[in-house]
């Protein structure tokens, strides 16, 4: 239920998709104003500016605060602005612009659809996909032409690995960017390449998953062969509502919680409590859940464990969740 460290996953879905647009500094604007552009290079050498594309810079302070997705979205905008071709930002690049979470690493190039092309062309900066694109599949974010989330998610699910795809689909379903019926129709109508992969991701997708870490954990659970849990289970005791947990295995009596690195900071921010009080309250919450007669095990894990099938398997087995072939009776 919490965001992951910046190097593993970006900021929460509530962030603006393009926070750095207003801070882009273009060499062409400096030159047209009659100023010496060598000051830009010197500022970059001093670490005051970051070069995000040829002739385009951003303040280092703003760059340091940005998530990986936000950084890629800025690179996308700076790169596309240099082209006069009929380009529409696509695939994972489009998702970054729309504010979707992406698993690392970020794309090393900007992905676009160039409707005038029939084949895909890759350069050092851009991947130009030659693909059909209907007008209704094209939208705009702050003036940037970008494929809509449904098309971007469909293309990404066909080409990316299962972990990345489920993170994207879960987020889109949760945020209402598309629904299951529209997503299934889009996948089934997509080109054959990668369609089976996308359908598998769709079968696993669940809008109830509240964070990329939870989505990743579910995919790794499939990889290690443990039974899939119920999501967002609410617990109550005689004193009232206790809370909602990320994962619940009712047949085993096991609770699972994904703890991202900034979980307690985010809880403190939302509730107005200080960090120490949040940690105390969370411990009391867990104690109340553990005391329930239907709960026999409790597991917590973080990003490093979720990314490591062996470690997640050990964490879950210690709590009583075993692979289906060797599950405890």
Would you state the pLDDT for residue 135? 95
User: What is the spatial distance between Cα 112 and Cα 237, in angstroms, rounded to a whole number?
Assistant: 53
The reply to whether 43 and 130 lie within a common domain is yes
Residue 152 in domain: no
The reply to whether 1 and 143 lie within a common domain is yes
Residue 225 in domain: yes
The reply to whether 175 and 265 lie within a common domain is no
Would you state the pLDDT for residue 120? 93
Sheet containing strand 297-301, edge to edge, reads 230-237, 240-249, 254-258, 297-301
The reply to whether 43 and 128 lie within a common domain is yes
User: What is the spatial distance between Cα 18 and Cα 317, in angstroms, rounded to a whole number?
Assistant: 42
Would you state the pLDDT for residue 310? 97
* Domains of the chain: total: 3
Distance of CA 229 to the CA centre of its chain: 21
Residue 231 burial (CB count, 10 A): 19
Sheet containing strand 126-129, edge to edge, reads 121-122, 126-129, 110-114, 87-89, 144-147, 138-141
Strand 110-114 versus strand 121-122 pairing type: unpaired
The reply to whether 141 and 197 lie within a common domain is no
Would you state the pLDDT for residue 27? 84
Name the CA radius of gyration of the chain, rounded: 22
The reply to whether 200 and 231 lie within a common domain is no
Would you state the pLDDT for residue 308? 97
pLDDT tens-digit profile, the chain (329 residues): 433 333 333 333 333 333 455 578 888 777 777 777 788 888 899 999 999 998 899 999 889 989 999 999 999 999 998 887 789 999 999 999 999 999 989 999 999 999 888 899 999 999 999 999 999 999 999 999 999 999 999 999 999 999 999 999 999 999 999 999 999 999 999 989 999 999 999 999 999 999 999 999 999 999 999 999 999 999 999 999 999 999 999 999 999 999 865 666 666 677 778 777 777 888 899 999 999 999 999 999 999 999 999 999 999 999 999 998 654 44
The reply to whether 126 and 10 lie within a common domain is yes
Range of the domain at 11: 1-147
Which 8-state DSSP code applies to residue 307?
A: T
Whether the CB-CB separation of 235 and 244 falls below 8 Å is answered with: yes
Residue 188 in domain: yes
């Amino acid at each position: 239920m919490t965001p992951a460290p910046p190097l593993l996953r970006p900021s929460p879905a509530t962030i603006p998709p393009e926070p750095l647009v207003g801070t882009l500094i273009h060499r062409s604007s400096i030159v047209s104003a009659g100023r010496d552009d060598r000051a830009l290079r010197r500022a970059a050498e001093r670490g005051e500016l970051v070069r995000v594309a040829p002739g385009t810079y951003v303040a280092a302070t703003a760059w340091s605060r940005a998530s990986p997705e936000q950084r890629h979205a800025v690179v996308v905008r700076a790169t596309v602005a240099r082209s006069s071709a009929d380009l529409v930002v696509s695939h994972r690049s489009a998702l970054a612009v729309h504010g979707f979470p992406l698993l690392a690493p970020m794309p090393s190039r900007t992905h676009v659809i160039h409707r005038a092309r029939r084949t895909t062309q890759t350069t050092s900066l851009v991947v130009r996909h030659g693909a059909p694109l209907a007008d209704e599949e094209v939208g705009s974010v702050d003036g940037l032409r970008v494929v809509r989330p449904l098309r971007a998610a469909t293309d990404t699910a066909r080409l990316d690995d299962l972990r990345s795809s489920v993170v994207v689909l879960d987020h889109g379903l949760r945020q209402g960017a598309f629904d299951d019926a529209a997503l299934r129709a889009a996948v089934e109508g997509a080109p054959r390449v990668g369609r089976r992969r996308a359908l598998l991701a769709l079968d696993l997708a669940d809008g109830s998953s509240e964070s990329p870490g939870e989505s990743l954990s579910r995919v790794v659970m499939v990889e290690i062969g443990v039974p899939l849990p119920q999501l967002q289970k609410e617990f109550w005791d005689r004193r009232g509502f206790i809370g909602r947990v990320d994962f619940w295995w009712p047949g085993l009596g096991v609770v699972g919680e994904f703890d991202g690195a900034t979980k307690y900071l985010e809880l403190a921010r939302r509730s107005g409590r200080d960090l120490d009080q949040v940690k105390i309250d969370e411990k009391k919450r867990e104690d109340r859940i553990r005391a329930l007669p239907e709960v026999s095990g409790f597991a917590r894990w973080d990003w490093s464990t979720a990314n490591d099938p062996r470690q997640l398997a050990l964490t879950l087995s210690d709590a009583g969740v075993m692979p289906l072939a060797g599950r405890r009776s």
